[in-house]
Amino acid sequence: VNLFWAIERMRKCAQRHREDIKKLEEEASRIHKEDEECCAKIGIVGEKLLEDEDSVLTHCNAGALATGGDGTALSIIYAAKKKGKKIKVYVDETRPLLQGARLTCFELLKRGIKPTLICDSLAPYLMKIGKIKKVIVGADRITRRGDVANKVGTYTLALSAKEHKIPFYVAAPSYSFDLSMEDGERIKIEERGKDEVKEFFGKKCCPEGVDVLNLAFDVTPASFVTAFVTECGIIYPPFEENIPSTLQ
């Protein structure tokens, strides 16, 4: 939802200034700078949730490669590290496009954090055997009552975290919340190309004739979320009250 929020800001700016390119450039730079500051704030707000020697799982990429700044989920990890906390980071590979393996691992290594990569399907079992203490993910869109649309697999982690009484945090800027949308039932889930699953770097990995269902996102119900970490503070349940009151 952030992209549409930014486009809307640019459109309003264009209307206001009769499409003056210089003004549009300034607005774009402002959005970028604000997003950077927002990410930094999310980190500062969220790092308090992590303890020294904590072990955290993240999914997909919620870092510098997906935002204007240091990211959302990863910004929290970076801020905790800056405070001197030692954090063990597990990264889901995030099939089919492997954003976890390719992007998140890359980012973490650049920041001096050696991640442990796992297959998506292992995460719930690692929660069961006590290897994962906290889950932090980003979000594509959050509804007014706290349902979360995010990269496919997020629902699995949230469900499993709840079962194992592990905190499940969603880190996102205020503009990822779509307060006009009541609940997650209405979110349309993008179905992406079948070849993303059938092929791997151009190599076929299943026989001809197989059908594929490749949903890009899933929706995690608010009841599975421990708290939202935003630049405006940490939002705990009841979300129906606390999301609008914190963000409006």
Cis preceding linkage at 238, omega within 30:
yes
Q: Which of 22-30, 49-57, 207-215, 227-235 is the region at the interface with a second copy (rule: CB under 8 A)?
A: 207-215
Residue 124 makes contact with a second copy by CB under 8 A: yes
Q: Which is nearer to a second copy, 179 or 197 (CB)?
A: 197
Q: Which is nearer to a second copy, 46 or 184 (CB)?
A: 184
146's CB contacts (< 8 A; 6+ apart) are 222, 225, 228, 237, 239, 240, 243
Q: Which is nearer to a second copy, 49 or 98 (CB)?
A: 98
Cα angle at 186 between 120 and 159, to 5 degrees? 30
Pick from 180, 188, 201, 245 the residue near a second copy by CB under 8 A: 201
Q: Which is nearer to a second copy, 22 or 114 (CB)?
A: 114
Residue 101 makes contact with a second copy by CB under 8 A: yes
Q: Which of 10-18, 133-141, 210-218, 233-241 is the region at the interface with a second copy (rule: CB under 8 A)?
A: 210-218
Is 183 one of the annotated active-site residues of the chain? no
Say how far apart CA 177 and CA 184 lie, in whole Å.
Answer: 12
DSSP at 140:
S
DSSP at 2:
H
**Which helix (H) or strand (E) is 75 found in, with range?**
helix 73-82
Tell which residue, 222, 223, 142, 219, has the closest CA to residue 180: 142
The contact set with a second copy (CB under 8 A) reads 90-96, 98, 101-102, 105-106, 109, 114-126, 128, 131, 152-153, 155-156, 159-160, 163, 197-198, 200-201, 203, 205-207, 209-215, 218-219
Residues annotated as catalytic (active site), given as ranges: 140
